[in-house]
Structure 1
């Protein structure tokens, strides 16, 4: 989800509290077992959110590029330790708004509460789209949708991670790409 007017307003209102963090390739900003206590914005670079399945494979759940909002919102809402990992795919700069600052901001006025609700709704819609992506599209349709909605992912995310995101093995992704080129 791209940074929008709601998030820009939040960043402006909380500018003294925003934490800027620089990450190197492979550095985790969220690890398994850690509680996510922030909402972040990618200012430059890219992040990948993934989990480890029951067979020990890492499975990409989401990619966050410049301008995208990222979080493990379940942790923000419930303090549940994360089952996800968020890692930098290269040199990446992020801005973080801590949970306690968000809650304090929301409590300060009705307008701020509305802004928080709208942001939560956008995060929910993003999660719902990911569920629909996996449930209702074939792997080829997933690949085409990813190309249409986020073509820049193909410039900065390795193919093996794109394959796991659309739910196939890298060899299957190669076959999908070959079939599409032949059409």
Structure 2
């Protein structure tokens, strides 16, 4: 469903990378497609080629894939102010191997691959923004790989809460566990442990308060 094409937030985010000339802003405003999606809608299926790059104006999404046993593995959670993209599929224009799913009703603003290429060709700022975005997603991907290899389950969970403090209200425990590469049972134990620890800290604080 298409909604009002207000691109102020998108222009603000892009403008935080580099000042945008008026013609660049005007073209983005003209070409950006604004749509709303309901929870559980799938924006991309494996085998499809990602034709659009999405800016999340409102809502919460995830990207995930299925392993050979049919188990889900959530690779990304994305909230307002972020971009949602199937990196490999979009930039290579080849079929994707992952799903992109809306978890909470979302307002998304998107541009096509061809439109993005025109920004690269016509605006110096387009090239700069594209390079910085690509670097950012490469770094995030590398950080996630290191994070899963070196951090304990508790450290992984706490780091996720720092990035998305209200994530447990936005998606299921199973999705969170799949993102953290742990079982649902392990995550449940961690949550109980942290809850007890927080309750104990509150009691200690109350006792020491004059």
| TM-score after normalising by structure 2 | 0.79
Structure with greater Cα Rg: 2
Q: What CA distance in whole angstroms lies between the structure 2 residues aligned with 1:128 and 1:11? A: 32
| Conservation of the 8 A alpha-carbon contact between 1:49 and 1:87 | yes
Shift of 1:111: 3.1
Alignment of 1:140-179 (within 5 A): 140-179=154-193
Q: 2:57 aligns with which of 24, 39, 43?
A: 43
Q: 2:146: which partner in 1?
A: 132
Greater alpha carbon shift after TM alignment, 130-139 vs 54-63 = 130-139
Contact 1:6 1:119 in 2 (8 A): no
- 2:68 equivalent to 1:57: no
**Two-structure CA RMSD over aligned residues (Å):** 2.1
Aligned-partner SS, 2:47: coil
Provide the secondary structure at the position in 2 that maps to 1:45: strand
Summarize the Cα distance change of 1:110–1:32 in structure 2 as closer, same or farther, 3 Å threshold. same
Q: Among residues 27, 37, 55, which one is paired with 2:41 in the alignment? A: 27
- Say how many residue pairs are matched: 182
Note if contact 1:7-1:119 (Cα within 8 Å) is conserved in structure 2. no
- Please, what TM-score do these two structures have when normalized by structure 1? 0.90
Report the Cα offset of residue 8 of structure 1: 9.2
Does the alignment pair 1:93 with 2:107?
Answer: yes
> Any stretches of 5+ residues in structure 2 without a counterpart?
1-9, 198-210
- Cα offsets for 1:103-148 (capped at 9, x unmatched): 0111113332122211211121222222122122121110010111
Higher-RCO chain (CA-CA 8 Å, sequence separation at least 6): 1
Q: How does 1:99-118 map to 2 (within 5 A)?
A: 99-118=113-132
Aligned partners of 1:178, 1:132: CA distance in 2, in Å?
A: 26
Contiguous gaps of at least 5 residues in structure 1? none
